[in-house]
Amino acid sequence: MAFVPNELDPGRSARDLFGWEMREHRKHADNMSLDQLTQIIGCISKGHLARIERAESMPPPELPAQLDAAFGTDGRFGRIYLLARKEKFPGKYREWSELEALSETIEEYSAATIPGLLQTPEVARFSLLAGHPHATPTEIDAKVAARLNRQKRLASSAPPHCWFILDESTLRRPVGSLATMRRQLDAIAMDKRPHITLQVLPFTAGAHAEMGGSLFLYTVPGRPTVVWEEGARSGELIADAVDVAARRRSYDLLRAMALSPRESRAIIRRISKEYGRAGEPAGELAEEQP
User: pLDDT tens for residues 241-290?
Assistant: 889 999 999 999 999 999 999 999 999 999 999 998 766 543 333 344 44
CA distance linking residue 109 with residue 258, whole number of Å: 11
Q: In terms of domains, do 149 and 261 share one?
A: yes
Residue range 198-225, pLDDT digits in tens: 999 999 999 988 887 889 999 998 888 9
Provide the β-strand partners of residue 164. Answer: 108, 198
Residue 49 to residue 32: CA distance in whole angstroms: 13
Per the structure, how many domains does the chain have?
2
* Co-location of 46 and 166 in the same domain: no
Mean pLDDT (whole number) for 6-18: 73
Same domain, 171 and 190: yes
Whether 96 and 76 share a structural domain = no
- Regarding whether 267 and 243 lie in a shared domain, the answer is yes
Residue 289 lies in a domain: no
Same domain (yes/no): 19, 116: no
Taking only the tens place, the pLDDT of each residue in 51-93 is 888 876 778 889 999 999 999 999 999 998 888 776 655 555 6
Q: Which residues of 222-246 are buried (b: 16+ CB within 10 A; e: fewer)?
A: eeebbbbbbeeeeeeebeeeeebee
Q: Which domain holds residue 72?
A: 14-84
What is the domain-level CATH number for residue 246?
3.30.870
**pLDDT confidence bin for 24, thresholds 50/70/90:** very high
Domain match, 73 and 211 both:
no
Higher pLDDT, residue 253 or 97? 253
Q: Is the same domain home to 218 and 96?
A: yes
Give the CATH number for residue 23. Answer: 1.10.260
Mean pLDDT of the chain: 85
pTM value is 0.67
- Helix then strand then coil, in percent of the chain rounded to 5, is 50, 10, 35
